[in-house]
Chains A and B, each alone.
Chain A
Amino acid sequence: MKKNIAIIISFIIFFNINAYALIQVDITRGNLNPLPVAVSTLFIDSVSESKVFKELGGLKIGLEISKIIENNLKKTGLFNPLNQDAFIQKPDIAHLKPRFEDWQLIKAQALITGKVEVVENNLRVEFRLWDILAGREILALAFTTVPANYRRVGHIITDKVYQRLTGEEGYFDTRIIYVAEEGPKVQRVKKLAIMDQDGANTKYLTLGNELVLTPRFNPTNQMVTYLSYFRNLPRVYLLDIETGVQEVVGTFPGMTFAPRFSPGGKKIIMSFAKDGNSEIYTMNLETREVEQITNHPSIDTSPSYSPNGKFITFNSDRSGYQQIYVMRSDGSNVKRISFGTGIYGTPVWSPRGDLIAFTKLHKGKFYIGVMRTDGKGERLLTENYYQEAPSWSPNGRVLIFYRETKSGDQGEGFSATLWSIDLTGYNERKVETLTDASDPSWSSLLTK
């Protein structure tokens, strides 16, 4: 799917940077005044529409792409997409040249217009981003792809708009891998599942015959590492989601778990449990070389590399309780960094490098929080009965994690769901999934 997109990005219209003071969205604070933005339906001529009508099951592609963009923007909490019913100008005319007064009238500050054509069975999609108050175009791009990729077109447009307006890379053309859950708590069936970041295109990657846990994406390609109880031997596996080929990682004489990729994707870091002691190991996927990183008679697990690969954060109960530590990637210079009240686990290094997200348990409540890599500046973002396992969006602005509800004596009322929250602590949202879900991991951008 990734290979055949062949996106040709061309700057179709001159593109002045920083010529005026333009609209800008500040994403560093909780945004209480989301930017009003109008997303016009992408115009498609009737000949083009009839060519792809059947393939896309009769869906109105121009409208559909605009809805994908609107939904993405709305969920950031930074933008307020205006109701299309209020739009005065027709999509094709607006795309050529908006009447800025009309858009100002409905209080839009930014406008997205676009056009879809079908050229030799491919979609050619162009879009423009307009600054209504300044009365000018601030971004224009065109893509060519196969019709089946129309949802990704919507995501890529959102990425470009988000980047232009916030100055940060987007996270919309991405996927989430997670564990889909069904059945009673005492006999839960778990499958690997993957979906687009907005919940579309859910696919199951395993059948549920064996227990699977903690899938994580390779940051550089479409490989996934996870824990499987295949043949009742809990081991770390590697799965290529393009081909479906999977293999066990290494030949450890015991349980391996808590896997993650190194930033370059060439190594897997994980725990290996033997004789009641869990230590952190790495395996180089090219040379198959295995290296022991920690050596301590306590539980050392949940390792995560810094984005430059020089450090590893992990949790250990060497102080008596689960706490967060940082060490050099060779295992030297181990330092405890969490010193607040409560126990701390599942540290994950931000892709920006400056923060570590974690789970904290204190007085019977679970928190998702962030701290600086020296442990200072702890900030708790959300409190709940049970939640854990944050995973960063590729731009390091949003965390996705899972929650479980308290159940009654017979397990009634239990649910496991995915949630996301901004780094600011604002904009907490449920991430819709087709089944109960846990252990989410966010992919990198599929196209840069």
Chain B
Amino acid sequence: MNLRVFTKNIFLVVFATLILSACATKTATLKGQMQGDVYTGTDTVEYLAKGVPDRVFFATNESVLTTAARDTLRKQAAWMRKNSELSFTIEGHADERGTREYNLALGERRANAAKDYLMTYGVSQNRLSVISYGKERPVNSGSSPLAWSQNRRAVTVKAN
């Protein structure tokens, strides 16, 4: 964890403690890694290149891109435009608290939300494919709100 992220997390903890004093204990244990139920931390994030995170996170049952997700995807798009020989697969995932089949559809919807956004920032459709894993490939095997928030994700991986 670099200093910038660290200070940001500290700020979030302080911020959350002020706003949500009633559930201060819980918020503190999550180390400011969630906003609402969307994961905002970096523990599970990998990087396509320096400063280009590989994944975005979603709220429960949602496929709407958050401000942070759009920011990440714009960075991905800029980097993709500079590396035009590469193509990508966007893997959509859901948490374990939903029925298997619905989650397959939800994962597909999340992956497409990310794909569509990348396309609006100039990445050609034929460089982007999607696959949904539903709840089949969690990144965090815990059964906690934090684990679920890390699992509700769309991950961009190099396909060639």
Q: Which residue numbers of A lie inside 8 Å of B, CB to CB?
A: 184-188, 211, 213-214, 227, 232, 234, 254-255, 257-258, 271, 273, 275-278, 299, 301-302, 315, 317, 321-322, 345-346, 359, 361, 386, 388-389, 404, 406-411, 414, 438-439
Contacts and interface: CB of A to CB of B under 8 A. Distances in A.
Nearest to B61: A321
Interface in B117-144: 131-133, 136-144
Contact of B100 (A187, A388, A408): A388
Interface of B: 61, 63, 96-102, 104-106, 108-109, 111-113, 116, 131-133, 136-144, 147
A214 B101 contact: yes
22 contacts: A185-B141, A186-B137, A188-B136, A211-B136, A213-B136, A234-B104, A255-B132, A271-B101, A271-B105, A273-B104, A273-B105, A276-B112, A276-B116, A301-B104, A301-B105, A302-B101, A317-B102, A321-B61, A345-B101, A346-B101, A388-B99, A410-B141
B146 to A, nearest CB: 9
* Residue from the set B101, B136, B141 with the largest chain A CB neighbour count within 10 Å: B101
Contacts of B101: 214, 257-258, 271, 301-302, 345-346
Given A234-B131, A271-B105, A404-B96, A276 B141 contact: no
A359 B98 CA distance: 10
Contacts of B111: 276
Given A388-B100, A409-B147, A186 B138 contact: yes
A302 B99 contact: yes
Nearest to A303: B101
A402 B109 CA distance: 26
B108 A439 contact: no
A214 B103 CA distance: 13
Contact of B109 (A214, A276, A322): A276
B73 to A, nearest CB: 15
B141 A184 contact: yes
B100 A389 contact: yes
B112 A275 contact: yes
B106 A299 contact: yes
A322 B102 contact: yes
A52 B136 CA distance: 47
